[in-house]
Each structure stands twice: as structure tokens, then as C-alpha cells.
Homo-oligomer: A and B are copies of this chain.
């Protein structure tokens, strides 16, 4: 089982040229389901690809988003996150540790309120914010 080949062909089948950079970024997204930012991806890949440019990471993620390979999450101001899981699900962002958790959300698949009759809905997002279980425990210990 050669993952690199898998992702190489996945890109080719979608009509995207499977450059080394694109395959590595796609690999990273599949292997690290952490809703990373562009910067996080660059930080993790650049040791193994010293010439990798931040701009390439940004360009590639934009390309992937347009091709429907990833969905973009805007939860915190300023930083965009990328999710290789494009299915309908909700996100919980911890204010303390910054982790973004997935959760099942039937609300995203149900009917649209009549107030939006005639609107064309292209994306639906549900996100919660607060403290994750671990961080909540830690906060309690401190008081």
C-alpha cells in the first residue's frame, strides 16, 4: 500500500497536476486530522522540504478548496483552518488549548427555515466554543 501513489492518482483524477508539493500537503491533511492552519502545515512539512514556500501552501489549499477536496473553517478571527473531511459535521473550538473537535450535527442536514426561501445555500457551518473536557478539568483545579 503506497499512500503517495494513492494521493498522486487522487489529484490526477480530479484534474489537478500532482506536483510533489500538492501530494505532500494532501498526505498531511489525510494523516493529521487536526483542522490545521496553513502555517501549521508549512511548519510540519518544511523540515522535509526546505524550499517549500508558504505561498505554495496557501495556493494549494485554495486550489483544494475550489476542487472540493477540503472545506474551509472560519472559527477564530484571522486564521482559516482546513478540513479534509468535507462531510456535514459540527466543530467545537476550545478557547484554552485551541483544539478543534468534530461532532455529529443533524442540524446541518435538515430543512432550511422558510425565511431563506429563494436563497441558494452553498455552505452550512455549525460551531461551538468553550472549554474541552481536559481544559475544563484543569481550570477547576486552579479555581
Contacts and interface: CB of A to CB of B under 8 A. Distances in A.
Query: Which bucket holds chain A's interface residue count?
Result: 35 or more
Contact of A95 (B80, B112, B116, B122): B122
A34 interface: no
Given A77-B74, A78-B78, A127-B125, A119 B107 contact: no
Contact of A119 (B74, B78, B124, B130): B130
B118 A122 contact: no
B104 A119 contact: no
Interface in A57-103: 74-78, 80, 90, 92, 95, 101-103
Nearest to A94: B119
Contact of A131 (B102, B113, B120): B120
Interface in A9-63: none
A133 interface: yes
Q: Identify the interface centre among A75, A113, A128: most chain B CB within 10 Å of its CB.
A: A128
A1 B110 CA distance: 44
A87 B93 CA distance: 20
Contacts of A118: 133, 136
A103 B113 contact: yes
